[in-house]
Amino acid sequence: RHAPLSVENVDMSQQINKPKHYTTAYDTQSLVVRRGHEFMVRVTFNRELVQQDDFQLEFLIGSNPSANKGSLVVVTFGSRRGGPWAGRIVEMQGGSVLLSVTPSATAIVGKYRTYVAISVGSGMQRTKRNAATDLYMLFNAWCPQDPVFLPDESERMEYVLNDTGVIYQGSMGAIVTRSWGYGQFEYGILDACIYILDSSRMPIYNRGNIIKVVRKGSAMINSQDDNGVLVGNWSNDYSMGVAPTAWTGSVTILQQYANTGVPVCYAQCWVYAGVFCTFLRCLGIPTRVITNFSSAHDNTGNLKTDLIFKMDGTPDRRATRDSIWNYHCWNECWMVRPDLPAGYGGWQVVDSTPQETSDGHFRCGPAPVAAIKEGNLCHPFDCGFVFAEVNSDVVFLKKDRYGTMEVFKVDKTHVGQGLFTKALGSDQYMNVTHTYKHPEGSEADSRTMTRAEEYGCDRDHSDIPDGELSADITSEPVTHLSAICSCLATFHSYQPTYQPTYQPTYLPSYLPSYLPTYLPTYLPTYLPIDLPTYLPSYLPSYLPPYRPSYLPTYLPTYLPTYLPTYLPTFQPTYLPTYLPTYLPTYLPTYLPTFLPTFLPTYLPTYLPSYLPTYLPTYLPIYLPTYLSTYLPTYLPTYLPTFLPTYLSDVQLK
């Protein structure tokens, strides 16, 4: 006769399990495992097991665990049938028994409580609650049976285990990087992610479903309608919180939210994307941050981003509901899509920035990237909205005095200029535009756009009216009948008046690649006629913030061939009005870095022919005011390095 069987100790064997499950980095006292893969538990009984002994492990999650809901899992180790998790005895040494447990690849994700139950008479006797035996269950990108299985090891290292990264901002042609600390392994972050699911009141039995977890997370990272993690703010007034640009990672945000239950102020798209990436990676879901340059926000459910202008050419912000962001960040996560036809698994767009509602909540996705590329917008979730973000036509409309709107310009290539994410194993960017769209103008692109229209996303097919043309004709006086009458006809083409508000976000990405090939042939004939009337009203508001970053690269190659022809005719009438207000604020910052490399080459050939005509009329007006404030600070630094090389080529009289 043997003594009644009882449990003396339960050891979750963390030193064995964590390395095999790639969870060593999690800063927690509890075991962290990934579903679908075996883990070990060592149970020490009061004596050696005999054939008549019957025991089981029980794993419970949630406040009301139920076997038929998957939240109470029984694991047996003999011939008796258990639950969906497999169990076996690995070894026995006296009363110490090493047990193997293999969770199902669809197990509920979250924090489980562990018990050992021993059959006693007609019932089961369970061990007492012991927090040291709790375990966290995660999604498993290493398990082929898990819907988030990612075959490539280097991608698993990057998209699941990398806890730092880079988010791209700026514009095409002027991409800037922002480092971001995801910190998914930091203390308290795993608990914070589970707290987010608890706060959403998401049923426990749904937390093994990757699609439902991702959609719930997309809604909960913003606070728009469910008291979620982050409050958005695009007003430039951040006095009631932290400016979005001040955040450098997700850890502080998630810890603050978990500790207070109060949404954290403030966020914009890259902050939402960074925190959502932490949430998903922490739970084991392969995730990356995507930046879409020139991203459309379509409020009207079509493929037209309508920008409405008043009669005077200024934007009608009240009537314009659509918008274009110079960049927008979202996430992609990797999963199979058993709810869709074959071919739509893989990367899925998910977005937690609150833009539009999906099934009543501010969230977006998962939308298959493969479906977006082919225009198959009938598949869930939110494919039409994402498709418009990367493919929308920009339609410029002008409203007359009666409220009637007329299309005066359509740009079919501005939106979705490029999509980028961090490259594997480095901080360099990887261009993923080809995964979202076919080359602009290709046959495949045309088929995609046609297919999208068939699913109800209307494109613009307006007939753009011809530009207006006016002419000023002047003639020289005729002194006698046989003289030749010389006439000059100056033509003025219609120029839309939206540039001052549109171009500051558009030109920084457009001009660097466009102007070097365009301006040398275009400007010499166009600018002398057009710029005297256009630039005085446009440049003062546009150039100060734009030129300091652009001109140092552009001017050294462009000005030497352009200015000798253009400036003698244009600047005598333009510069006296423009330069006195513009140069005092612009040149002190720009010239010290630009002129030392540019002027030594440019001035010796240009100034001798230009200045004799220009300076006598211009300098008496401008220089007395300008030089007295500018030269005392500029020349002591500039002239000692520049003038010795320049003046040696000039004959002083």
- Residues with a known catalytic role: 269, 328, 351
Contact criterion met (CB below 8 Å) for 523 and 562: yes
**Nearest one of 324, 486, 477, 310 to 405, comparing CA atoms:** 310
Dist CA 365 CA 352 (whole Å):
9
Sign (positive or negative) of CA dihedral 535, 540, 542, 544: positive
Supply the DSSP symbol for 248. -
Pairing of strands 357-358, 72-76: unpaired
β-strand partners of 558: none
Contact criterion met (CB below 8 Å) for 270 and 149: no
**What is the phi/psi pair of residue 630, to 5°?**
-95, -50
**Residue 184 token pair:** 């998914």
Which helix (DSSP H) or strand (DSSP E) does residue 283 occupy?
Answer: none
Ramachandran bin of 519, using left for φ above 0, alpha for ψ from -120 to 50, beta for the remaining angles: alpha
Dist CA 348 CA 335 (whole Å):
7
**Residue 8 token pair:** 């003396």
Dist CA 510 CA 197 (whole Å):
43
Dist CA 116 CA 11 (whole Å):
11
β-strand partners of 471: 491
Distant-in-sequence, close-in-space partners of 177: CB < 8 Å, separation ≥ 6: 166, 167, 168, 169, 427, 429
108, burial (CB in 10 Å: exposed 0-12, middle 13-18, buried 19+): buried
Q: How many CA atoms lie within 13 A of 149 on its CB side?
A: 13
Supply the DSSP symbol for 313. S
**Nearest one of 572, 585, 558, 573 to 614, comparing CA atoms:** 572
